[in-house]
A = this chain, B = another copy of it.
Amino acid sequence: MTLAAEKLDQAVALLTELDVDCWLTFVRETTGARDPVLPLILGRDLTWQSALLVTRGGERVAIVGNFDADAIRALDTWPSVVPYVQSIRGELVETLKRLDPRLIAINYSENDVKADGLSLGMYRVLCGYLRDTPFAERLVSAERLIGALRGRKTDSEVGLIRAAVACAESIFEALPSLARVGMSEAEIARLMRELAADSRAAPAWNAEQCPIVNSGPQSMVGHGVPSEDIRVEPGHILHVDFGVQLDGYCSDLQRCWYVPRPNESGPPAEVKRAFETVVEAIRSAAKALKPGAVCWEVDAAARGVITAAGFREYLHATGHHVGQAAHDGGGVIGPRWERYGETPNQVVESGNVFTLELGVDNVAGCGYVGLEEMVLVTASGCEFLSSAQTKLGLLGR
């Protein structure tokens, strides 16, 4: 069974669970304007305006441009493929009349970028087609449906994610023997991308910023670009944020090391204390993470450990879903800040795969101490997918 077939079966079950009659994904020219849900349910691009309909009863109808029809038929996951030439309007309205759904969940969301593939222009086009029909008034957001479909990983998805974690970890393991004092951040980044390519893996996000490499106190923490000028020096913390996409699924991990000065046998006490606090905060989040937990509560469990230790609060969320994308949409294990919308209020479900990530900046003038692990939510708690870093290794000796 292909992944799209598996996820489409899951979607039909979710329509019943969420009491939605019909799910409509409306797209065009997806090579350039990809709807993030397409790789889950289609795995192919569409050119002209196209409508993918899934009903609670299990019907799957793809209304597509004439020149896409053969390619979609060949997939075997869409039993009904309806081609058109001059306009999709007629076939779309006829199909909706036949199905007559009470509500139509469409592909937009204020909160979840991965459930928000419908552009404003295409929404206006759709409303134009449905003018003078009862269906214009029946459109609702498919946010919950898409969030659950993407968030509840199937066994085969978890298997693919495990492989992506193992691949990134093997590259992290090779790093201490390859990264030398005097190398620039950019050199280390290139080295890691080459190791990924050797494992036929792609960077999990845009290559220029994957990995993010931070050496010492002058580096761009966050979504920065590795520097050609900043070099690994004694007294630096080397911090790396890296993930790979392998067979369509991602990993996203952070690791760090300390580079001792000639007179040092280990990291300064404050660096050690920051590292141990970061490990403890991640443990605390993992302990709070289980089905039924609300995302912001899990965030607070970790955040509290950092602030209680007297460190400055980190200015980002503690975790996000990981799947086909490194940032896989759905709920965010984050504080209730406006920029996170409703995502911190979402409830954790079994089968979710999250990162747990946080750090302390500017520690003792040595740089950024940060870690990122990946966990799978189980029936009663969570399981680490990554081999959690609990010791601050030394580099350059």
Contacts and interface: CB of A to CB of B under 8 A. Distances in A.
Interface of A: 28-29, 31-34, 36, 44-45, 47-49, 65-68, 70-71, 74, 84-89, 108-125, 128, 141, 205-206, 208-209, 220-225, 315-316, 325-327, 329, 337-339, 341
A48 B339 contact: yes
Contact of A223 (B68, B111, B115, B116): B68
B337 A86 contact: yes
Given A44-B208, A74-B220, A115-B121, 5 more contacts: A31-B205, A31-B325, A31-B326, A67-B224, A118-B120
Contacts of A205: 31, 45
B32 A316 contact: no
B338 A70 contact: no
A68 B89 CA distance: 41
B45 A36 contact: no
Contact of A113 (B33, B84, B128, B337): B33
Contacts of A89: 338
A32 B113 contact: yes
Contact of A29 (B84, B125, B221, B327): B327
Contact of A87 (B32, B84, B337): B337
B119 A85 contact: no
A227 to B, nearest CB: 9
A55 to B, nearest CB: 22
A86 B339 contact: yes
Contacts of A120: 108, 116, 118-120, 123
Given A74-B225, A87-B339, A118-B119, A67 B32 contact: no
A224 B74 CA distance: 9
Contact of A338 (B36, B86, B117, B222): B86
A147 to B, nearest CB: 12
Contact of A124 (B110, B114, B222): B110
Given A327-B32, A337-B85, A66 B222 contact: yes
B71 A117 contact: no
A325 B47 CA distance: 13
A66 B221 CA distance: 10
A32 B36 contact: yes
B66 A315 contact: yes
A71 B209 contact: yes
Nearest to A128: B110
B32 A71 contact: no
Contact of A70 (B71, B224, B326): B224
A34 B34 contact: yes
Closest 3 CB pairs of A and B: A67-B222, A87-B338, A116-B121
24 contacts: A28-B113, A31-B205, A31-B327, A32-B329, A33-B113, A33-B116, A33-B117, A45-B209, A67-B223, A68-B222, A68-B223, A71-B220, A71-B225, A86-B339, A87-B339, A108-B119, A110-B124, A112-B121, A113-B121, A116-B119, A116-B122, A118-B120, A120-B120, A125-B341
Nearest to A48: B339
A205 to B, nearest CB: 5
Nearest to A27: B113
A87 B315 CA distance: 12
A337 B66 CA distance: 14
A285 B112 CA distance: 45
Nearest to A70: B220
Given A74-B225, A222-B66, A225-B74, A339 B88 contact: yes
A338 B87 CA distance: 5
A337 B339 CA distance: 41
Contacts of A327: 29, 31-32, 47
B68 A32 contact: no
Nearest to A122: B116
